[in-house]
Structure 1
């Protein structure tokens, strides 16, 4: 059957578009799967690492207690034969009991501790065995069944003694059930040797069931959970099964390949396995007691969003393919030479390159097709790049932006609901004047300088971010208010500045801070209270710091809304601020002073005066006012009246009366603040700088 050139062109176009859609779809799907896998692996490994640190803190504390007590025993027993003396044994037990009590403190996970003498030296009497039934109870003495009374086959009940003695070193015991305490335990036992002779073992028992409750309520996605495993993978432990599930009761999970799975704590990659016909991903982390902390979640839940994105992308590709089919049907013979470009673009995209630009020739169908393909490629490229970027960073300072602050402070508080933290809210004093005086680029440099100072002082244990403008926040984790106060006080003493034309300028900051979980019980309350504390500091004059107090909720912030320009516009008379230097550079002039000189605006005023106080004063008064200013320079903080004339565009001069004060400004140095009134001849002032009452 003969086919027309239009049919051939249509078939060629559809083939090219299909290849392009398949290439884009394949690359996009692979990118989605790869990015999703990387993100979820990081997320699950982060969860495992956070809870590993929490558990390890208790294990390390237990090890420290046992080694400290063992060291005390070793230092008190100078000779192994000493413990044959009953008086020595009993006195040592009393001393060691006090040492245990001081070392354990408020640790409620410790349910028992003991000192058991070597039977070949001391027999089976006078041992120390202290147990508490509930965490609210005190420790009470109990009799312990002698180790020698257990048969060699009774390894479970006597391993607290036999295993460390056999190993000749401190050991963690696997979770086991204690007949004497009627509960599941994990134990850390230290053998004490003197002159290569065993004299005793020192041990601490932890309530394993209570430890399991710490993470029993953790949920990963919808139905994921956490549990513990021994390193051989033969036993799994959960809060509802503290005794563990052994290998012959599905305790060992099977990989998708049918092999038995063993925890790999040296890898951060997720491992996939199958249980009861369902696939799971698991992340593991090594604990100090040679167990693994496991985080698992169903694969379907982990990749649910990715699957949704893939489905949407497939629909998008189908829609685009349909549009291309309609466009291709209208292609004419003259367009065939451009199809090679489309085919080449499809091959390039199939190779993973999105830097493709098709020639957009004319306004015909092939031109429209080329533009559509270019637009689609750009959109898909930007979408993939956006998926690859998980940006929560402020571009100016490198700290977290508002989105990053919200995310990471929320994550930390949710992960540590009972841990103390302090939120600092701070801003740069008079930041607007820095921008107005030196420009926004210098203002940006000041913000970067402050960010670097914050990182240097609080980067080790803080979550730092820029809220916007000149406002910053710092969450000091695992920090109490008293500790934060010392850190903030030290930070406030440090010099803070920026450089302008080779000259360093300094600035000050105001800091308010609030504590979690008291008085702020939630994250929103914490941010609110820190904000209230900041404004309480600013109301008292800035360049200071202070904590949140309940009475700050009633403070009136209304006067913070006024600025120098508003005040200068409506205050009777004029205001002038200029540097106390030979040229008297003008820093600020109110609208009223611009009007008095007959200028239309500030630009004309600065041009008319040359930007200096000397250019404002009439030439006839310049000498007298120069001497008057020199007198005031020798009396910092003094305030005197003066009458003189200022230049005016429409008139030779305008008679004025003024009063100025010399003040040291932290940014500008020595500065004159001057109020000026027109002198209508009725003004009764004090004596001016030359001693005349004018």
Structure 2
């Protein structure tokens, strides 16, 4: 007896230790998953928040320039007059000055505003140009850039005009450094057209520092930061790389980052890369001016919380294992026999076998637990039997009801997400049930439903049949029934012709429609049901038309 108890103690101790290892391993894995997910969420939320802040700034600037461009276009009486009448051009330009300066004064970060006319029909310095000579100075009128001095291909000096015109749409220019006032700028320009001809452009130069303030003010973890890259992969704002430097040429390790930026906005996960010998992760968003805002941090800082949590889990695992060993040695002799029986009974219940009987009961708490457990199992068996009868079976026809159908629909959608099941849905609707109920009574209507159900079950005998409404049935076809659904539908039609309805002298009439699942178009189960339901209504209409002839 003592030797057997020793073996039980050794067995239970092994199980306890194994369970502790499994639980600890699961805890470590969950810690990795949860902390990684939270870290990605922190980075993505911060990146999205700052992207929204920048997009809001860009949107306000765009709105100011757009308002000025609309005013410029609306005040233009005639393009021909602008081309031929120098006095009109001067008056028109003068009319725009106050509106342009007001728009610039009310636009955050605006350093210059200009309206320039097409040099093909106007003087090379036509239009207006107001600019601040210092960052905090007031706007002053300056002589516009002389187009005749530069070639249209000289993007450094006149690209602000020809690039938006050639694009044919509003354009954010690349950031550049204005040496005259020592300020980095970025321009937004809108071309103006009349009668499919270029009138000119309206634009503003914006102090790039207001954008840099948002980017440079972004911090995450201990040393994480944000940076800005334009659509061509050039650095627009970075704490270590000068503006205008292609990221790929700054460091070869950043070439994968450029490729990732071109692929589009990151999702829930982070992009991992290495720079200056340090592994990092970043999240980025595409801004409305086609730039990319990225938030990056060292992996070591991102994983710090996870590593600390793993250490706590492992420490707790060691303590729990030691405590479990001591408790097992103390209580095994007393608890092993009734607990083993309870464990066996619990396994049977988990497998769906409720015919358990617990005989080894002691006169202590374990015995009370065993008695309560037995009563619970008995009550549960009765309750499950009763509930299954109510929940999944139609009381009139005996086939599965709408609740069972909804469960089947859920299971099929799960299969659709994890694979490509092959199935078809047949929707059937009894014709004339309301007429039978109204003329002959609901008892005859019930007979009609039962007769229709018998025909459906007889036809689709290898497929589940569901009654989902008063006169509506659904069958889900798979395997052999799916392969031979055409023959089954012919058999179904012949079965109706040979059956009698609840009203003497009339055949059973059931409209039906079928739809075969197509993984290319059917995203959810409801798509297949909808097509089958539509086909059923078409069949119902055809049957009514045929009966009316």
- Residue 15 (structure 1) aligns with: 14
* Partner Cα distance (1:161, 1:252) in 2: 36
Structure 1's 136 and 195: CA in aligned 2 closer, same or farther, altered over 3 A? same
Classify the secondary structure of the residue corresponding to 1:65: helix
1:602 corresponding residue in structure 2: none
- The equivalences for 1:239-638 within 5 A come to 243-246=243-246, 247-250=248-251, 253=254, 262=262, 264-265=264-265, 267-329=267-329, 337=337
- What corresponds to 1:73 in structure 2? 72
- TM-score, normalization: structure 1? 0.45
Distance 1:145 1:33 in 2: 60
The aligned residue for residue 213 of structure 1 is 213
Aligned to 1:169: 169
Q: Is contact 1:253–1:260 with CA below 8 Å preserved after alignment?
A: no
Task: Give the gaps of 5 or more residues in structure 1.
Answer: 349-359, 368-694
Partners of 1:53 and 1:134 lie apart in 2 by 29
Q: Which whole-Å CA distance do the structure 2 matches of 1:253 and 1:338 have between them?
A: 65
2:306 is paired with a residue of what secondary structure? Answer: helix
Q: Which moved more, 1:86-95 or 1:176-185?
A: 176-185
Compute the displacement of 1:164 (Å).
0.8
How far off is 1:281 after superposition? 2.7
Residue 64 of structure 1: how far off its partner (Å) = 1.6
CA contact (8 A) 2:235 2:242 kept: no
User: 2:139 — aligned with what?
Assistant: 139
| Alpha-carbon shift at residue 186 of structure 1 (Å) | 1.5
- Counterparts of 2:117 and 2:51, CA distance in 1: 34
User: Contact 1:231/1:292 (CA < 8 Å) preserved in 2?
Assistant: yes
Taking structure 2 as the reference length, the TM-score comes to 0.56
Q: Does the 8 Å contact 1:212/1:242 carry over to 2?
A: no
Q: Does the 8 A contact of 1:224 with 1:298 survive in 2?
A: yes
TM-aligned CA deviation for residue 114 of structure 1: 0.9
| Larger strand proportion of the pair | 1
Change beyond 3 A, Cα 1:72–1:13: same
Q: Is the alpha carbon distance of 1:13 and 1:142 closer, same or farther for their aligned partners in structure 2, counting shifts above 3 Å?
A: same
CA gap of 1:17–1:332, structure 2 versus 1, over 3 A, is: closer
* Corresponding residue of 1:616: none
Q: Deviations over 1:62-108 (max 9, x none)?
A: 21221222222222223223233332232222222211122233434
SS in structure 2 of the partner of residue 83 of structure 1: helix
Flag the 1:187–1:71 CA change in 2: closer, same or farther, 3 A: same
For 1:149-176, what per-residue CA distance to the aligned partner results, in whole angstroms no more than 9, with x for missing partners? 3346533333211111111111111223
Contact 1:176–1:186 (CA under 8 A) maintained in structure 2: yes
- Structure 2 alignment gaps of length 5 or more: 349-359, 368-549
- What residue is the counterpart of 1:42 in the other structure? 41
> Are the equivalent residues in 2 in contact too, given 1:185–1:207 (CA < 8 A)?
yes
Q: Per-residue deviation at 1:271?
A: 2.4
1:205 counterpart SS class: strand
Partner of 1:120: 120
Q: Which has the higher contact order (CA 8 A, sep 6+)?
A: 2
Question: Are the counterparts in 2 of residues 225 and 296 from structure 1 also a CA contact under 8 Å?
Answer: yes
1:180 deviation in Å? 5.7
Secondary structure of 1:122's aligned partner: coil
The offset of 1:20, in angstroms, is: 0.9
Conserved 8 A contact 1:232-1:263: no
Q: Secondary structure at the match of 2:216?
A: coil
Cα distance 1:161–1:108, how it changes in 2: closer, same or farther (>3 A)? same
Aligned length: 355
Q: Within 2, Cα distance between the matches of 1:332 and 1:240?
A: 65
Distance 1:311 1:92, change over 3 A: same
Displacement, 1:6? 6.0
**1:299-342, Cα deviation, whole Å (9 max, x unpaired):** 32233223212211111111111222334455767765578689
Shifted more, 117-126 versus 29-38: the winner is 29-38
Provide the rounded CA distance (Å) in 2 between the counterparts of 1:341 and 1:252: 63
Partner of 1:193: 193
**Structure with the higher fraction of residues in helix conformation:** 2
Cα separation, partners in 2 of 1:38 and 1:363, compared to 1, 3 Å: farther
